[in-house]
Chain A
Amino acid sequence: MSATMTSPPRDRAEPRHAAPRRARRALGGRRWRALVGAAYATPTAVVVGLFFLVPLVLVGWMSLHRWPLLGKPTLNLPDNFTGIADDELVESAVWFTLKYTAVMTALLFVVAFGLALLVQHRRRGVGFLRTAFLLPMAVGFASASLLFLGLLSDEIGPVNDLLSWLGLVDGYVSWTSGSPETALGSAVVLVLWRFAGFNMLVLLTGLQAIPPDVYEAARIDGANRWQTFHRITLPLMRPTIALVLTVMSTGSLLAFDQFWILTRGGPDNSTTSLVMVIYREAFVRLDLGSAAGISVALLVVLVVVNVVQFRVLRRRSE
């Protein structure tokens, strides 16, 4: 895209035997255009530099030091990284975060894709359904977590009363901290409710970008619904699916709010995510160097996961 923007066809069409003066002017023009382009890009570059690159470098630098809240940092390489390996909480948090990412990504994708297929075609009531599915996105994630905490509470929430009225539960049930399974389950339901609509929207744009004549051709060739889905929809959706899966898995690997608010990492640390451990290192143990060390390790994992994901999915789509 950038190639077509910076070198329009008119330039390439210049005859080779043009006078040197014109060439110089053209060069000056190109330089001018490059300058204008750079000027347009500057605000973004400044924002990215200030709010992404500088903190990134700072975190990397902090991870090499013992970094007190006040006072001078001292170099302690590689303590912040070797400390990660010794920490049992980090180990359990890594396994939990991976498990959560796998479960969440799979479920969220299936639900979001299902919803997208459901509201793909213009029919009566589809507009209402699309809005209804997307609406939870308007609630802040922390607020949504608090909302679920209230709803699921045995003390103040209506969910338990409703379920026992229906005869589905008997007596006291604690959804958010009763057992590791229910705690994870309540967080999963929360994330599904909050994010399925948004991912549906992204997938929907992908679905609608598929030309109708491809489907028409398939129908003429006698393809059934499954074949159409399997041979046309899925392959043509690959770039969109790659994007959605990347966003989902990255978001899950960085999970924090839902567990911090809903389960506090419990019961018995069973829902403590890796970002919660980073938070604990920084704000409970006040060890900023160690927190930076784990952050850098997590960043490396994220980069690797994203590169692999994009390579696999893009290669197939090409």
Chain B
Amino acid sequence: MTPRGLRRTAVLAAGLLLLATTACGGGEEPTGAADDGTTLTLWTRAATESVSRAYADAYNAGHRNKVEVTAYPNEEYPAKLASAAGAKALPDLFAADVVFAAQYASRGLWADLTDRFAAFPEKDAMAPSHVKAATWEGRTYAVPHTIDLSVLFYDKGLYAKAGLDPAKPPTTLREFAEHARKVDQLGGDVHGTYFGGNCGGCVEFTLWPSVWAAGGDVLDDGGTHAKIDSAAMADVFALYRSLYEDGVAAPASKDEAGPTWLGALQAGTIGVAPGPSTWLDALAAKGIDVGVAPITGLTGGESTFVGGDTLGIGATSGKEAQAWDFLAWTMSEEAQVGVVAKNKGVPTRTDLAANEHSSADPRLVTVNGLVAKGRTPYAQNFNSSFNDPQSPWLKTVRGALFGDAATALAEGNAAITKSLQQG
């Protein structure tokens, strides 16, 4: 071959190589190619740290890539992410509360995963409300990471003492109130129920399912208009308000801002109360014979708030292929059953809801079965409108439960809508 021919061949070969590399970047590479011994940083919040660590440990054991998990206190986590984004120093992977996903996606904090996710074989089985939450203007930015559902916990021991059947949890919200009143009559330290009356996130997580179960709605699909000024919402608030006013709900419910919520339920003095499904173990560990039931509507129906975290690749990472290798692995059957279900978690894949581990505990079957019935609200300004302590939602909640209930919902609806539409 002439030197010129050699050069031409070399250029052609280089071109082909470049093409192949580009194709790999497009997400069609076999997972092995991206498992090249890279160290990946993963940030998460304390609430879901244990699940992220379990994923990382199992992945690290079988891969050359290494995932290093760093967890931050729940309240400080959004600020930490914002500072890192401002400094263009986001981690390779970071999880976010699913209700904040739309905000992070819209601000470009995550890398665009649309093509990679579209090529993922089981994409349709991924928890649909989580996938929607991490979608902004038709593009996918994160995948479901952990699932936490709101359920009704009841203390079977207290039920028996109060003359209620421990095998029959409430099937309507009215029945829930009746049961709570009955348990409350035991007196002493025992109270009928408990809720986070000074915590926007706690109230939306536990009260909205009752609205949804009754066929009501809280937000429009685009997340720009509040719909809380409804009879369904007013009924739910009125019921909880009467429980508080009659002393059936523990008095600390009014001031519960979140941090001592679990502790109050763990005390073993609360009859029946809604809470996060991930607390099942923590309650059982305190020796409470805890029963699990779906949250219901005023006269029937059941629903749940599909909470938890979504996980995406930091926009400033530069290790997208390796990070995707981890993400794709977390969605595999190996991880979903071998890590999540094994640790009594809710699989993020609906096709794996029934598995060898969940069938061992009927309570987990109840929990897993709720994913399909539940919802995840979607709004770009969700945090500032609902979860933040200074949000208009918390003001509305306080008014509806402890203040002027007549005007709270109407005024709150306008204020929340204004906040949702803020640029």
Contacts and interface: CB of A to CB of B under 8 A. Distances in A.
16 contacts: A68-B108, A69-B107, A71-B108, A153-B260, A155-B263, A172-B252, A174-B252, A267-B398, A268-B398, A272-B390, A279-B79, A280-B384, A282-B79, A282-B82, A284-B78, A286-B82
Interface in B10-63: none
A71 B403 CA distance: 43
A92 to B, nearest CB: 10
Given A69-B86, A272-B390, A285 B398 contact: no
Majority secondary structure, A binding face: loop
Nearest to B388: A284
Nearest to A66: B423
A288 B384 contact: no
Interface in A251-304: 264-269, 272, 276-277, 279-280, 282-286, 288
B139 to A, nearest CB: 15
Contacts of A18: none
B364 interface: no
A112 B394 CA distance: 38
A285 B86 contact: no
A156 B398 CA distance: 24
A172 B251 contact: yes
Contacts of B82: 69, 282-283, 286
* Cβ-closest 3 pairs across A and B: A283-B79, A69-B85, A174-B255
A154 interface: yes
A245 to B, nearest CB: 30
Contacts of A89: 390
Interface of B: 78-79, 82-83, 85-86, 88, 103, 107-109, 198, 251-252, 254-255, 257, 260, 263-264, 315-316, 381, 383-384, 388-390, 394-395, 398, 403, 422
Nearest to A269: B390
Contacts of A283: 78-79, 82-83
A178 interface: yes
B252 A155 contact: yes
A279 B264 CA distance: 30
Nearest to A71: B108
A258 to B, nearest CB: 14
A277 B390 contact: yes
A154 B252 contact: yes
Given A70-B315, A279-B79, A283-B82, A266 B257 contact: yes
A234 to B, nearest CB: 42
Given A178-B255, A265-B389, A269-B395, 17 more contacts: A69-B86, A69-B108, A70-B85, A70-B107, A70-B315, A71-B108, A153-B260, A155-B260, A172-B251, A177-B198, A177-B257, A264-B257, A268-B398, A268-B403, A283-B79, A283-B83, A284-B78
Contacts of A276: 390
A177 B390 contact: no
Contacts of A265: 389-390
Nearest to B415: A88
Contact of B381 (A172, A174, A269, A285): A285
B390 A288 contact: no
A185 to B, nearest CB: 15
Contact of A267 (B198, B251, B388): B198
Contacts of A288: 86
A98 B265 CA distance: 39
A201 B78 CA distance: 39
B416 to A, nearest CB: 13
A292 B403 CA distance: 34
Contacts of B398: 267-268
B358 to A, nearest CB: 33
Interface string A147-159: 0000001111000
A207 B35 CA distance: 70
Contacts of A266: 198, 257, 389, 394
Contacts of B315: 70
Contacts of B198: 177, 266-267
A307 B200 CA distance: 42
Contacts of B389: 264-266
A154 B257 CA distance: 13
B259 to A, nearest CB: 9
Contacts of A282: 79, 82
Nearest to A283: B79
B103 A286 contact: yes
A263 to B, nearest CB: 9
Contacts of B403: 268
Contacts of A277: 390
